[in-house]
Structure 1
């Protein structure tokens, strides 16, 4: 039996900068990673990954050619596991793909033939098909994309898709019927950042009409009802903000990550000073920040220092933990309310992490070296949150 702290790892033998859980699959733990090779003659792919819990193994179920170029962003449908959105690097349009059913329905066991070469395994006899193109009205390249999850009272809906270009122009798309129709546009009125960072987009899970856009060291709050930026505040990240994410359970709380290697949390109702600053987790840029979608005490951060950190931030969560084991085990560094509880190191920079869609206690990370690792939240952390 494997230990809870063992990492399941697979090598895709290609650089990877984006990863997403298959949100529409609530039975099997699946992820999709995209390669981003820029070498002439290389074909980039989407890799369908499946976690085999009994053996603690992560395996590739399908390797599907991505004909539009190096994959810059992946967003999977919240309701259909065979539908995914991507856009390529330096592209001005996103593509809505239909994945082969064969690839997404595999449920066979792993083949433990040690002599087999994963690259030679026939992973799928079908190919992806293009359902629609999301073409922006501007000539600016896309820099971010969000597929907002559907609400509980609309389980059959496809959700809303938002794309943002380099100038901060945001478009909302209706992709419910396999086509793409632009329904609304708004300009975030961002200013050029002296740090030369692309703007980042986040949907407020507590207000369907609100979004946050990070540009440089500022965060702009956008309201679709008024079609304008309703708030604009400085987040005090030296060298600029690299990512942001809303607390899924506690309204008005936003986390930001920066090139200064710090993670900061803000109450949007009074943003002059951060609620908390997390230091020491990264030696270089923090490339991604991601809340656990169910347990907001837990948060992932990834960095260009090759590190992936699992954090517990209890005091600013919706359900602060009341007791800790400091007296019983003073040597335990993960016994305080706001601590790093696990750390994993890749061989190269890490730009992508994802929480499992069918299991809230697993998470995956992809390094630029092409290795994808899957980890489990330590059992001790589960018990602190659930009991």
Structure 2
């Protein structure tokens, strides 16, 4: 059976911020933030309808400025964060706020969308819950929600600091609880921060220039450092959700690298499949051998990293132990073939974009579906090829 065609959605404005909604796993939903210098910016809430292979949109106005980063609360499907540029006293500031999607008391602007549908003129404004006071910390570049949390703990990243915040249950106030500063010669600046989903959410990793650092949030001290992790700037990081010591990184040297943070002298795997800067890398949250990367070469690449995954031999049946008699009869060579390790390498290359692809995110509800976003405002929904899906499941 042939794979289904990708679904393409065009925004009115340029965009580079994308996230999957994680609080509700019954719906396949993505959030996109726009970057317009001339008009009011927007947050597009996009629901994917699997039965009709179509997208439904709800558009909200974000009048505070162009959105550089967007995040979704793990505890409330209607709460999100944005980082945006705003002019204050004739100076451009990077600010952040926590928002709530307006209620559905009135009919929202929801409709099937195509490539060039315009946003409705009667879209509602986002409701601000609180703003993160960055007067002392500097310009905020991103806000990260605690993984698997209740939505009350977040991190914010500035040029040379990251801060830990506690939100009230209502999200109406944020209190800074701790911070860490990047120190060194030449005023080093962070480029990325990623929360480690293991170790009781007490660790994070950061990137600056070509260096990756691990941090313990309990002491706010460094735990490890990978110098010269990439030949050029490190753009993004992600942790393996199923193997606690493994992480991936990507950068301007066109490569994606995989690390075991217990031994950082050499990466455990390197993929050099892009031809320009790699902006994002993401592990599949359910099947960690599947890794997405997106790049300024206008491509999204799906990679198999099975040899360093939690499932190096593919899916194992839960009732294998109950079939010992059949196993004894089965020839050893046949058994080996049936459990043959999956090969590492590129599974598929997706080329529906015509501009730099700044973000690619897996759906939180469907492990076989993902979205990617390019700077020209094109969002594409794609799937893992059926053949690869069956290799993993069977």
User: Which TM-score applies when normalising by structure 2?
Assistant: 0.84
Residue of structure 1 equivalent to 2:281: 289
Query: Does the alignment pair 1:65 with 2:61?
Result: yes
1:172 pairs with one of 157, 162, 165: 165
- Supply the distance in 2 between the matched residues of 1:105 and 1:319 (Cα, whole angstroms): 46
Residue of structure 2 equivalent to 1:267: 260
With over 3 angstroms needed to count, the CA separation of the structure-2 counterparts of 1:117 and 1:216, relative to structure 1, is: closer
Query: Does the alignment pair 1:214 with 2:202?
Result: no
- Supply the distance in 2 between the matched residues of 1:161 and 1:96 (Cα, whole angstroms): 10
Q: For structure 1, which segment, 270-279 or 182-191, has the greater mean C-alpha deviation from structure 2 after superposition? A: 182-191
User: Which TM-score applies when normalising by structure 1?
Assistant: 0.86
The superposition leaves residues 228-275 of structure 1 with CA deviations (integer Å, 9 ceiling, x where unpaired) of: 222222143111211111111001111110100001111111100110
2:192 pairs with one of 189, 195, 200: 200
Note the C-alpha offset of 1:311: 1.2
Query: Does the alignment pair 1:375 with 2:377?
Result: no
Note the C-alpha offset of 1:120: 6.2
SS in 1 for 2:96: strand
**What is the root-mean-square deviation in Å for CA atoms of aligned residues?**
2.7
Count of aligned pairs between the two proteins: 361
Map 1:80-229 → 2, pairs under 5 A: 80-89=76-85, 91-102=93-104, 110=112, 118-119=117-118, 121=120, 124=123, 126-150=124-148, 157-191=150-184, 198-207=190-199, 208-229=201-222
- Supply the distance in 2 between the matched residues of 1:12 and 1:228 (Cα, whole angstroms): 42
- Supply the distance in 2 between the matched residues of 1:227 and 1:277 (Cα, whole angstroms): 30
Residue of structure 2 equivalent to 1:326: none
Residue of structure 2 equivalent to 1:19: 18
SS in 2 for 1:80: coil
2:370 pairs with one of 348, 363, 366: 363
SS in 1 for 2:175: strand
Note the C-alpha offset of 1:137: 4.7
- Supply the distance in 2 between the matched residues of 1:230 and 1:104 (Cα, whole angstroms): 51
CA contact 2:215–2:221 (8 Å) conserved in 1: yes
SS in 2 for 1:385: helix
Runs of 4+ displaced beyond 3 Å = 89-92, 103-111, 120-124, 190-194
Residue of structure 2 equivalent to 1:315: 307
- Flag structure 1 segments of 5+ consecutive residues without an equivalent: 152-156, 324-334
- Supply the distance in 1 between the matched residues of 2:122 and 2:184 (Cα, whole angstroms): 46
Residue of structure 2 equivalent to 1:46: 43
CA contact 1:188–1:229 (8 Å) conserved in 2: no
Map 1:210-249 → 2, pairs under 5 A: 210-249=203-242
CA contact 1:35–1:71 (8 Å) conserved in 2: yes
With over 3 angstroms needed to count, the CA separation of the structure-2 counterparts of 1:144 and 1:104, relative to structure 1, is: farther
- Supply the distance in 1 between the matched residues of 2:107 and 2:185 (Cα, whole angstroms): 45
CA contact 1:168–1:199 (8 Å) conserved in 2: no
Question: Which structure has the larger Rg over C-alpha atoms?
Answer: 2
SS in 2 for 1:119: coil
Q: For structure 1, which segment, 286-295 or 185-194, has the greater mean C-alpha deviation from structure 2 after superposition? A: 185-194
- Supply the distance in 1 between the matched residues of 2:347 and 2:174 (Cα, whole angstroms): 44
- Supply the distance in 2 between the matched residues of 1:105 and 1:315 (Cα, whole angstroms): 50
- Supply the distance in 1 between the matched residues of 2:391 and 2:108 (Cα, whole angstroms): 35
The superposition leaves residues 190-225 of structure 1 with CA deviations (integer Å, 9 ceiling, x where unpaired) of: 44679x874210111112211111111111111122
- Supply the distance in 1 between the matched residues of 2:220 and 2:122 (Cα, whole angstroms): 46
